[in-house]
Amino acid sequence: MSTFDPDALECLAAIVEEGGFERAAQRLSITQSAVSQRLRALEAQVGTVLIVRSRPLKPTSAGQLLLKHTKQLRLLRADLERDMKELAPSSTGGAREEERVSLAINADSIATWALPALNELAVQGLPMEIITDDQDFTHGWLREGQVLGCVTTLKQALRGCKMVPLGAMNYVAVAQAAYAKSHCPKGLSAHNFREMPFIAFNRKDDMQSEFVGKAFGLKRITLNQLFVPSSEGQVRAVLAGWGVSVVPELLARGLLEQGQLVNIAPAFALPIQLYWHCWNLESEVLDALTRALTQAAAAALTNG
């Protein structure tokens, strides 16, 4: 089997991760011509095109395989870095850019329990890149080999990966206290939900309609929606009186206790099951990430 040049592999990864040849060259501290030469040499060795020259640039199927291989090499280097620090704490410097380990985590988890779970690893110097997406779509990042693990709502493990249940995040419908008093004094119902704007994360986010459908036993839901691509931003928009939103109870708990927010559908909460998926490899870094996330999830999430 061919041995691939690590510099060429990192060049491919830089092009994909940075979204272009110029930014890849800046990251690698080489010329743009050198980036093109490394990519051409790698494509010649593989015998196929690795990058689709589209906007944005994206890897071909072969490129995705080599990208996954590159990230596995990064994981091996991260494991070695941890071992070397234990044996000779003063012998290693800061991690290089190419040693980052990438995770895909849904925005609601980042806004509540996931970042505290990773505190210790970050302080220890583990070079992480956290990619955020809707919880139904983080799985795609793992499938394409762009991350080594993800928090997702999908249960089925991919080939070569393992899955660990994390628990359920409960979602509630909230409104600013004065807004609720004037727009839905008796709470959210099957008769008034169409009259209020719902603040969603983005156009892929179906949390709002799923909540309303299950709360009131409705199959077809059409909502008037505004989009704010931030979990904390959704809450701030609700506090500002933009409308109502379905958000994690963990995120709204303090504001509900203070009376700034009101639960406008107190008889119903929507539990969303979350799962941690990662490559099925022997790795101290992966094991540490899995332990950190599962322990934090056990403390923050529910079992049902």
Radius of gyration for the alpha carbons in the chain, expressed in angstroms and rounded:
22
Topology annotation, domain 169-272: D-Maltodextrin-Binding Protein; domain 2 (3.40.190)
Interval 29-47 mean pLDDT: 90
Amino acid at 12: L
Residue-level pLDDT at 73: 83
pLDDT (0 to 100) of residue 303: 82
Distance CA 70, CA 126 (A): 17
Check if the beta carbon of residue 175 is closer than 8 Å to that of residue 238: yes
Higher per-residue pLDDT: 110 or 61: 110
Residue-level pLDDT at 213: 96
Q: Where in the chain is the domain with CATH 3.40.190.10?
A: 169-272
Note the Cα 221 to chain centre separation in Å.
27
Cβ 153 vs Cβ 206: under 8 Å: no
* pLDDT above 80 for 218: yes
User: How far is it, in rounded angstroms, from Cα 62 to Cα 81?
Assistant: 29
Q: How far is CA 260 from CA 112, 201, 255, in A?
A: 19, 21, 5
Half-sphere exposure in the Cβ direction for 114 (13 Å, CA): 24
Q: Which two tokens stand for residue 213?
A: 């459908």
Give yes or no for residue 253 having a pLDDT over 90.
yes
Q: Specify the pLDDT at position 270.
A: 97
Q: Residue 128 forms beta bridges with which residues?
A: 101
Question: Tens of pLDDT along 222-246?
Answer: 999 999 999 999 999 999 999 999 9
What gap in Å lies between CA 271 and CA 188, rounded to an integer? 18
Numbered ranges of CATH 1.10.10.10 in the chain: 1-94
Answering whether pTM is above 0.85, one says no
Tokens of 15: 């092009």
Tens of pLDDT, residues 62-111:
888 888 888 888 888 777 777 766 665 555 444 455 567 889 999 999 99
* Structure tokens given for 41: 């040499």
Highest mean pLDDT among 113-127, 142-156, 257-271, 275-289: 257-271
Give the pLDDT confidence score for residue 226 in this predicted structure.
Answer: 96
The C-alpha atoms of residue 212 and residue 3 are separated, in whole angstroms, by 54
Convert the pLDDT of each residue in 161-194 to its tens digit. 899 999 999 999 999 999 999 999 999 999 999 9
Separation CA 73–CA 99 (nearest Å): 9
Q: Per-residue pLDDT averaged across 208-234, rounded?
A: 95
Question: How far apart are alpha carbons 147 and 130 in whole angstroms?
Answer: 9
User: What would be the CATH architecture of the domain defined by 1-94?
Assistant: Orthogonal Bundle (1.10)
Average pLDDT, the chain: 89
> What string of H, E and C letters represents the secondary structure of 5-33?
CHHHHHHHHHHHHHCCHHHHHHHHCCCHH
